[in-house]
Structure 1
Amino acid sequence: MSNSPLFLPRGFRFAGTTCGIKASGKPDVSLIVSDRPIVAAGVYTTNQIVAAPVVLSRSRTPSAAIRAVLTNSGNANACTGEQGMADAKATCAQLAELVGCNENDVLVMSTGVIGKPLPMDKIRVGVEQAHGKLANDDTAFIEAAEAIRTTDADRKTESCELTLGGQTIRIAAMAKGAGMIAPNMATMLSVMCTDASLTEQDAQQMLARVANVSFNRVSVDGHTSTNDTLLLLASGSDDPLSGDALAQFEASLTELAIKLAKQLVADGEGATHVMQIHVVGASSDTSAEIIAKTVAASPLVKTAISGGDPNWGRIVSAAGYAGQPIEPSQVALSVCGQSIYDKGTPLSFDAASLSGTMKAHPQIDIELRVGSGAGEATYWSSDLTTDYVRFNSEYTT
């Protein structure tokens, strides 16, 4: 959870409320409403089993006419057949009537348990309550971010302010995700709001690039969800950003997305460490990404990191079975800045001292050279603990 000040973009109102979807009584309905039609772009799960809200929102983005985003947590509305789609449409229609827009200009996201019908009586009450609380202040934004959480231990928010062409532009983003985290995307929900002016095409293309170097490069358990949704909402009404200004905006958006993605990993169910895996020397950036992803997903690497075990063999061998060309005689590895393997040969090092360093630091930096190529990539992954196993073995029972 970021402790930085919030920079809320102009043109948006936010709200979160509790309607009883969650047995815990925690917030479970979140609204983001724009004052006028705005540009919206979306990137969604690649799972072939797709929740109704994903199908609906995917069909409505990119767009220059979106007015609202409705999120419910505690129920994924996934694998719920025709009734699930009807319920998703009904929630959009209700919010559209309250906002005063066409129901096709409302996007919807759901997260939670798969395979159970939405409790529509509760959701209808929640939507009306949340609509009555809409505001553009820190409290409203935080309440909206709280209401999208499921198993998250912490709220995930980030924001920034930048000056482009003499204009002050703000970006504020929220995300949820702690389990079922694996590209593509990161098994999560996220909305990034800005008062920058963007075209539909620029917003969509930019968001895909941003997702690829942030939310598509994290892993907790290798399980891609049915509900992943990343939205970019842009409320600006001036001439759309272009050239250097557009590139600077994308750089800031990317920075925020990476911060949120790392929060997802740090909040991985039962996680005690985050691995930052940087692969260099690959034949291409794509090859480096595949190698880093393979290392990140290895249960043996994850458990070694959990125990503070500098087991270089697990990391090096994972690179070897990633299915990408490497140069074994050039492979080198360092963990937490300590070189432990070089030119295909293990080095002498103080394992006990390095283990202590690993146990003491929440982020474990892994630098892996796989050859003499120019390809490189960075990936983030959580460790694997007994708490993760315990939590997920009891999740629905």
Structure 2
Amino acid sequence: MEYFMRKLTFFIIALIILLTSGCSTQKQKTAITTNTVKATTLKVLKPNSKTWTFSKKISSKQTSNHGVSNSISTSAVSKTDDLSNWTTSKGRFISYSVKYKQVPLKEWQRDMRKNFVKNAQKKIHLMTVTQVNASLKKLGAGFKISKLSDLIFLETQTNGMPLNQAFVAKGHHLYAIDIQYIDTDQTITIDRGQVFADTRTKKAAGQIAAAKLNGTWIAAETTTSASDTGKIMIKDGYLYQHRYDSFERSAIQNLNSYSLISLNQNATYASQKINAARAGYQLNQKTVASGDSLGYLYLFINENKLIRIGQGQATTYQKTSTLVAANDLPQDDIKIFEQMDQKNPAEAASTITVKADAPLVGMSSSIKYLTDPEAGQIISNEAVSLTNGTVTINN
């Protein structure tokens, strides 16, 4: 009997150890799964700079009686129509020029409720974990969260305004979940989330010495017109085009001369970066590129090929000659551009219009179209004459 009791006691102790070990293992697995979602997101957001372009948007109905519907549909929004995009840099989020900081869920909830009067706060709800996972599934994510704090919550860096979206990332995709909704007295359509693609999957342009770009470039597939001749001329760091009665000039910019922080905070650069990504190319700190007054982006792929991106199209230009013919870009016009720059150090000669009268030079504060929102805007027109190679401004 005593022997039997000892064996029974040993069996019970072993069973307790086994059950305790099993529970511990299960808790450990749950913790690992949960931590992996957040850790994966933080790892994806860690690089110095990533640009995320819009891919898809989802929505569902909300009614007064049944709340948010479980039926989720894809919104009919084209990639070119949707202006939303994100840049991430070492965990920081930037949308155009607005910078956001990460905050804990509890802090985000507290600050979010501050924006509503007390009576209205009762009508505010957060999506449940089940609803978030349903949105993630519809957006194509192959994973789930186990609690809302698995998501990244944001507030504006300057005034702490909460953003009504929470984020999670994996691989080359960033998922933005619309996390908050408010009770309604009628049936409405509400946004449930968006997915963005990382442009690091796109083809990148390499860095090229500006001197190697000099010459004449032709877009063979272009239907020529007065506003688009299908030909550009490059000379000593400037891109020239002939439109109607004018020559237009823009600076070729080596973005390596700008700090990564300044580029990420530049709204003009951010907009052009999105344009490049939508066309399948990457605009980054190593890029040599230019722009123009019509909003086109000129992205140099190598010293003999460039891509013009804009107005929903990407046009390829090939360098056909290392020289610029005088009938394409007269030497007198180059002298006028250069000397007007010298006469106005704080400005840049942007255009030269030649009709029956003396040449008219359009002066701008800048012709750096990739980084300056005022590039190409004419602030004055100067009538000039050129005598023996010297430019004179006519009074």
TM bucket by the smaller chain?
A: under 0.3
State the TM-score, normalized to the length of structure 2. Answer: 0.25
Q: Which has the higher contact order (CA 8 A, sep 6+)?
A: 1
State the TM-score, normalized to the length of structure 1. Answer: 0.24
Which structure has the greater CA radius of gyration? 2
